[in-house]
Chain A
Amino acid sequence: MTTAGDMLGGRSDTAAPAAIELRGISKAFGAVQANRDISLAVPKGTIHGIIGENGAGKSTLMSILYGFYKPDQGQILVGGQPISISDSQTAIRAGIGMVFQHFKLVQNFTVLENIILGVEDGALLRPSLSKARGVLKRLAAEYQLNVDPDEVVENLSVGHQQRVEILKALYRQADILILDEPTGVLTPAEADHLFRILQGLRDEGKTIILITHKLREIMEITDNVSVMRRGEMVASVKTAETSPEQLAELMVGRKVLLNVDKQPARPQAPVLEVRGLTMVDVDGVERLRGIDLDIRAGEILGIAGVSGNGQTQLLEILGGYPEKGAKVGGTVRMNDAALPLSGSGCDAGQRRRDGVGHIPEDRQVEGLIMDFTAWENVAFGWQDAPEFNKGWLMDNDAIRRDAQAKMERFDVRPRDCHLAARNFSGGNQQKIVVAREIERNPDLLLIGQPTRGVDIGAIEFIHKQIVALRDAGKAILLVSVELDEILALSDRVAVMFDGRIMGERLPGQTTTGELGLLMAGITDTRNVPDDAGIPPGTAMPGATQGAH
């Protein structure tokens, strides 16, 4: 393999200039060096992966390419010509298109209206719309980008919304397409379809830059891959000449265990029994349509599914805080006692006293108070615990001691409990939450997206802790949109779609393909169309609104 210096200097052997080339790009925010002397050359007509942990500087680099930030140093060349990208308009004119992780679409506009937004030809919309309709038809035929131009965006599935984003870029005549974590919200089938689209675009001579943290995608689709670590480009290699293990090692800077090392589960008595759980939210939308689940002591039940299919509601209800105004039905029994699902007994504090721990899906909104110090966050949710209180006052010394010890055991860095939570990296923030919830030794631990936005090193550690808790005979409910994570950790996998459990599988006896179909709401797995992302005409409920 080659290192950054050799191959990325920008001197490609071929005569044709690189589609896009960076030379010595540096960018600092205050004292933080987000990008340091980055050089990169992406040949025309290739798919180039950029991989790196959170905070490695990938997003900063892409923002520079799209004109959101100005680099402190360095040069950008498009098609061999040096240009200065001062804003997104310049980037678009230079043929750079961007598909963001969070789509920038007007939800109640049609596809066509979204596509011409910002590039209308005149004061009247009709000519632009009819022109766009023609272009769209051609693009759709050329690249399998089928979307109904007159459908309102909010009725489209997430996968189709993403296609609209790609179409937007192509309509603006982008030759270089940058996609930021494009598969985060897609089912595996939708992701496969996206990859086919991207390959088609590449074969037509477009250049694609794919930013991701998923090694599998890099291996599957890219031609070349560059690895970023702590603001630097540490390597750039041909994908065919590398392996996931090697890339992971480059990203983290040390050897990483990609597979979770665990013994078969030895489940015991049932801890949680959920029967016919339903939930109708304040707007009258049915979020849960009769969930039945059992979790026994000493096992991990994984819930797979595209986000927005009721997982959030399930976790909140079990955690004791159903959404305001929601109607909850059914029964939940824990250790043979019914848990109240509404009214005064149903609050998160009581659930904790009943032995339910909860690592929430969104650590920044729920799991932590970002402006609180690490030690204050260690008491968060457990502020009533007797060891944290001394009569009228909180025993801040005791909390600080506890925090310091937990940070020690969970290797939270920096090891400074007086630092505000927002000043820790995503992985270290999550370690604080995990430490707080796991060390209470709960009978049932609810976990939502344990490793979202967490770097690989921390993922490995958090996974180990979860398995250790299982081996200590505790029941664990794991919700994750990362299928790999579900398969690696779970002893049983249940798939959720549209507020229902579509089926349960054993991780060793299923495939991502089968689970992917269940995630898309298709139970009949024998006879499946090729583009099986979504049954035509049905929007994925909830998926567009998101959980919060």
Chain B
Amino acid sequence: MDKMPKWADVILTPLISLVLAMGISALVILAIGESPWMALTTMVQGALGSSYGWGFTLYYATNFIFTGLAVMVAYHAALFNIGGEGQAAMGGLGVALVLLFLPLPHWAIALPVAMLGAAAFGAAWAFIPAILQAKRGSHIVITTIMFNFIAAATLNYVLVNQLRPTGSMDPASARFPEATNLPALTDIAAGLGFEWGRNTPVNVTFLVALAACFLIWVLIWRTRLGYQIRAFGKSEPGAVYAGINPVRITVIAMMISGGLAGMMAINNVMGESERLVLNAVEGAGFIGIAVALMGRNHPLGILLAALLFGFLYQGGGELALWTTIPRELIIVIQALVILFTGALDNMVRMPLERLFLTMKRTSRGAVK
């Protein structure tokens, strides 16, 4: 079996997809009478041109790393978890409950406890679809997407009726105790003696996300559980033959997945807003699907894809701020990137593969 080199598979293909998406985006921008070049420079400048831009890009990327990893773990068990949105929302509730009701003296203690709370709530939210899938065969795509709505409604109820401080008109929880506020990266930079990313929301959670990438890599490719998850994902009859319990793996993989999605909440809820607000997830759960697809379900790829989508989020915001390009168009651009890197992946991959094979054959012929 001949294949194209790995670098072409992993780097060249998404890159070409990205260029294609950008090309079509440029045409769309041209069509509404704006300059694509100006749009691109605005986005790059706004997202990557200053430590301020980077601060936001990395903040968004942190969210996407968690939801991307969540999709990835489920994917390796052949489960399509599109409930990241709801699981992240419930993770937020977990964080809020922990921080509001447990007396935690310092952020360094609050962080692991809040992570546990976030992961537990996210995992619990994924557990129900998982057990329904494993025991009853209810399709996980259907149930997780329904659970997104249930999560949103539940959060709505809890915020309005339970967590809203009396007298407040805002459907949001009270502020978390000051002591539990996570240090922003800008504070850490200041501590090290230089100025970086002032007034940006990126915080220590970014470092947690990097650690999570590594740990998930270890989990999937170095542990027995990861081996079992991957084997189950490739062939369920094979897994059964090998003594791997499908119910157990389905539930565990989904709970890890839900836990990861839930952990996103320590970034946006604990790290940024420092209280629980309605609709805190802002679609990051869905972006995670695109991130995992584009990152080829590998933590390193997910890290890079999350950075790209962080750039698109931040750059898109800048575009809306500084140009007359409407906000909706930014969603179009993001959608095109998702379309090309995710859904139309094979459109680029297959011709590329053919090209590499012919190149190989002609070079072999030349040697003869």
Total contacts A to B, CB within 8 angstroms?
Answer: 80
Which of B81-89, B90-98, B224-232, B289-297 is the interface stretch? B224-232
Contact with A along B241-259 (1 / 0, CB 8 A): 1111100000000000000
Q: A360: which B residues are within 8 A, CB to CB?
A: 241
Q: How far is the CB of B360 from chain A (nearest CB, A)?
A: 7
Q: A548: which B residues are within 8 A, CB to CB?
A: 237
Q: Is the CB of A367 within 8 A of B238?
A: yes
Q: Is the CB of A369 within 8 A of B357?
A: no
Q: Is the CB of A366 within 8 A of B357?
A: no
B218 interface hit (Cβ, 8 Å): yes
Size of the A side of the interface (Cβ < 8 Å), in residues, is 37
Q: A320: which B residues are within 8 A, CB to CB?
A: 243
A491 interface hit (Cβ, 8 Å): no
The docked-state distance in angstroms from the alpha carbon of A372 to that of B234 is 9
The docked-state distance in angstroms from the alpha carbon of A381 to that of B244 is 8
Q: Is the CB of A366 within 8 A of B2?
A: no
Known A30-B2, A321-B240, A393-B223; judge A380-B234 contact (CB<8 A). Answer: no
Most buried by A among B231, B234, B241, B360: B241
| A-binding residues in B (CB < 8 A) | 1-2, 218, 222-224, 227-228, 230-231, 234-235, 237-238, 240-245, 357, 360-361
A340 interface hit (Cβ, 8 Å): no
A319 interface hit (Cβ, 8 Å): yes
The docked-state distance in angstroms from the alpha carbon of A351 to that of B242 is 10
Q: B240: which A residues are within 8 A, CB to CB?
A: 321, 348, 366
Q: Is the CB of A348 within 8 A of B222?
A: no
The docked-state distance in angstroms from the alpha carbon of A392 to that of B218 is 10
The docked-state distance in angstroms from the alpha carbon of A423 to that of B333 is 39
Q: How far is the CB of A14 from chain B (nearest CB, A)?
A: 41
A261 interface hit (Cβ, 8 Å): no
Q: A221: which B residues are within 8 A, CB to CB?
A: none
Q: Is the CB of B222 within 8 A of A396?
A: yes
The docked-state distance in angstroms from the alpha carbon of A389 to that of B235 is 22
The docked-state distance in angstroms from the alpha carbon of A194 to that of B18 is 58
The docked-state distance in angstroms from the alpha carbon of A381 to that of B237 is 12
Q: Is the CB of B357 within 8 A of A30?
A: yes
Q: Is the interface of A mostly helix, strand, loop or mixed?
A: loop
Task: Report A471-500 residues with CB < 8 Å from chain B CB.
Answer: none
The docked-state distance in angstroms from the alpha carbon of A348 to that of B231 is 15
Question: Given B218, B234, B241, B243, which contacts A393 in the complex, CB threshold below 8 Å?
Answer: B218
The docked-state distance in angstroms from the alpha carbon of A95 to that of B1 is 35
A358 interface hit (Cβ, 8 Å): yes
The docked-state distance in angstroms from the alpha carbon of A221 to that of B355 is 47
Residue of B nearest to A369 (CB): B234
Known A366-B235, A369-B235, A393-B222; judge A376-B227 contact (CB<8 A). Answer: yes
Q: Is the CB of B361 within 8 A of A383?
A: no
A197 interface hit (Cβ, 8 Å): no
Q: Is the CB of B1 within 8 A of A370?
A: no
The docked-state distance in angstroms from the alpha carbon of A368 to that of B238 is 7
Q: Is the CB of B2 within 8 A of A389?
A: no
A347 interface hit (Cβ, 8 Å): yes
The docked-state distance in angstroms from the alpha carbon of A6 to that of B148 is 72
Known A371-B234, A379-B227; judge A358-B2 contact (CB<8 A). Answer: no
Q: B360: which A residues are within 8 A, CB to CB?
A: 31
Q: A321: which B residues are within 8 A, CB to CB?
A: 240-241, 243
Q: Is the CB of A350 within 8 A of B243?
A: yes
Q: Is the CB of B241 within 8 A of A348?
A: yes
Q: B361: which A residues are within 8 A, CB to CB?
A: 31
A121 interface hit (Cβ, 8 Å): no
Known A30-B357, A31-B360, A392-B223; judge A369-B231 contact (CB<8 A). Answer: yes
Residue of A nearest to B226 (CB): A394
A16 interface hit (Cβ, 8 Å): no
Residue of B nearest to A381 (CB): B242
Q: Is the CB of B238 within 8 A of A365?
A: yes
Using A31-B361, A383-B244, A394-B224 as known contacts, list a sample of 8 further A-B pairs with CB atoms less than 8 Å apart, ordered by residue number in A: A31-B360, A348-B241, A348-B242, A349-B244, A358-B241, A366-B240, A372-B230, A384-B243
The docked-state distance in angstroms from the alpha carbon of A365 to that of B224 is 21
The docked-state distance in angstroms from the alpha carbon of A393 to that of B225 is 9
A352 interface hit (Cβ, 8 Å): yes
Most buried by A among B1, B230, B238, B361: B238
Q: Is the CB of A366 within 8 A of B237?
A: yes
Q: B230: which A residues are within 8 A, CB to CB?
A: 369, 372
Q: B224: which A residues are within 8 A, CB to CB?
A: 383-384, 389, 394
